[in-house]
Amino acid sequence: MTPLNASSIFGPDVWWITLIKVLGVFMLQLLWCLFNVWFMRRILGKMQNRKGPIMNTAFINGMGQAIGDGMKLLFKETFIPKDTDKVVFSLAPVIAGICAFAPWAVIPLAGEVNMFGHTTRLQVTDMPVAVLFTLATGSLAVYGLVFAGWSSDNSYSLLGGLRASAQMISYEVAMGLSLVSVFILSGTMSTSQIVEAQAQHWNFFGAEIPVPSWYAVALFPAFCIYFISILAESNTPPFDLSECEQELVSGYSTEYTGFQYGTYYLAEFIHMATLSALAVTLFFGGYRAPFPFNMIEGIDQGWWGLLWFFLKTQVMIFCLIWCRGSLPRFRYDQFMGIGWKRLIPISLLWIVCVTLMRATTGATGTARTVLALMMGAVALALIAWLFLGGKAEEEVEQIDDEFDAFAGGYPVPPLPGQEVPGTTRVVSAQRVAVDDDLDPIKNGVDA
């Protein structure tokens, strides 16, 4: 069989098989998005001790609510504000939608199957740099948010677009660095070959254990960094600072209505599923059956791969929803500090460790044992720094200057180390003059 990475962009399939797979992936994402809307509402309802959606659709409580919301947005009037850049304003949601669907072209849903008498893979296409393709399309998706903020002629939207661009720059770097160790260990950037590399069994000092060698275990610090990064990339709380309602009303999408707003809503849920599917592909063996099901003959092949892929991805989506319902939103300085001060340095150090491990793969005996212990110690140290390092309070330099909350004419909060003096009432000179004129004591009138 011709390997996928050596074929043309459409792979070894005939054109109509490729067309069927493209349409199938497109329809699958639309239906999966409706399910995930209902799934998120039900899970958040259980976590917050409320029922969630219980009306519309008898056989699955509340499933029809998501369909109703989608139909309402589809037929609702699209309103474009007067002073917007209409071309860019209309183009922005299209960019967000295309970039949400595009990565699914290289994500393998299952292995080889028989489709209408043709043997094919349940993957639209593959390429030697498939993972870089997914990262590139994710980076382009931020333009849909930036253009929306810039073209809306709205301060809230502009701030949301600027936050989205800063968020992409900060966490896209950390996400890319977290995947370097996967490339080093697998020796490829092809998604299908990374899945096959994880199908190998663990080899523990010469003894083979029938458990798939998932990279989420072998590269656990990299997986933790990737998981935090996808929370930021998908604008999932506590990283939804580009659209937080308390500060920006709705951020970059404040001025959007109807189908255009629905496109952003659709892209958000598809992007969440895309990042979860990519995490399953790179760290959890993709469509391969987990232990002990992988020991059953035939259950790890063909169309069965769809079942394992969707189960793993849905568990990953559940973890994202779990974070959405349980974690409070960060301050913006904390949000940027996590990306630049913690995730990126840890990723660089972990890459060095994995590179040393690969360079000394041929080591045997005592050298191999010492190397394994060193790698374990480094992994534990990185995990402790990642999860416990932020709890230590940093010393704040004391500022001796007297704090004036109204300096410059606008009220501002105090900086760390500043103390707020006693509350004072600030009024204009005109208001004081009016109060003096109406004071009965100063005017000699008996109150």
* DSSP E strands, 261-333: none
- Contact call for residues 158 and 57 (beta carbons, < 8 A): no
In angstroms, the CA 238 to CA 112 distance is 39
pLDDT digits over 5-47, tens only? 434 444 567 778 888 888 888 888 888 888 888 888 888 888 8
Give the helix/strand (H/E) hosting 384. helix 366-388
Q: What is the pLDDT of residue 9?
A: 45
pLDDT at position 374, please?
67
- Per the CB < 8 A criterion, the answer to whether 87 and 67 are in contact is no
pLDDT band at 313 (very low <50, low <70, confident <90, very high): very high
Q: Look at 300 and 224; give whichever has higher pLDDT.
A: 224
Give the closest residue to 63 by CA, choosing from 32, 28, 29, 37.
37
pLDDT tops 50 at residue 425: no
> DSSP H helical segments within 62-154, as ranges?
63-75, 86-101, 130-151
CB 118 within 8 A of CB 126: no
Give the CA angle between residues 133, 136, 137 to the nearest 5°.
90
Token pair belonging to 436: 């003096």
CB distance 194 to 188 below 8 Å: yes
pLDDT in tens, 388-409: 654 444 444 444 556 666 666 6
Residue 35 CA neighbour count, 13 Å, CB half: 11
Q: What is the pLDDT of residues 128-142, one digit of tens each?
A: 888 888 888 888 888
Sign of the alpha-carbon dihedral angle for 262, 268, 274, 276: negative
Place of tokens 């369909």: 67
The per-residue pLDDT for range 225-281, each reduced to its tens digit, is 899 888 888 777 777 777 777 777 777 777 887 888 888 888 888 888 888 999 999
Contacts of 188 (CB under 8 A, 6+ apart): 128, 194, 197
What's the mean per-residue pLDDT of the chain?
Answer: 76
pLDDT tens figures, 148-157: 888 887 788 8
Q: Is the pLDDT of residue 446 over 60?
A: no
Instruction: Report the range of poorest mean pLDDT among 167-181, 268-282, 295-309, 414-428.
Output: 414-428
Average pLDDT over residues 309-319: 91
> Are 101 and 270 in contact, with CB atoms under 8 Å apart?
yes
The pLDDT, as a whole number, for residue 396 is 44
Terminal CA-to-CA distance of the chain, rounded, Å?
102
CA–CA gap between residue 309 and residue 313 (Å, rounded):
6
| Residue pair 280/313 in contact by the 8 Å Cβ criterion | yes
What Å distances lie between residue 417 and 114, 165, 258, 402, 407, CA to CA? 68, 30, 47, 11, 17
**pLDDT tens profile 95-124:** 888 888 888 888 888 877 887 777 788 888
Q: At what angle do helices 220-233 and 155-186 cross, to 10 degrees?
A: 160
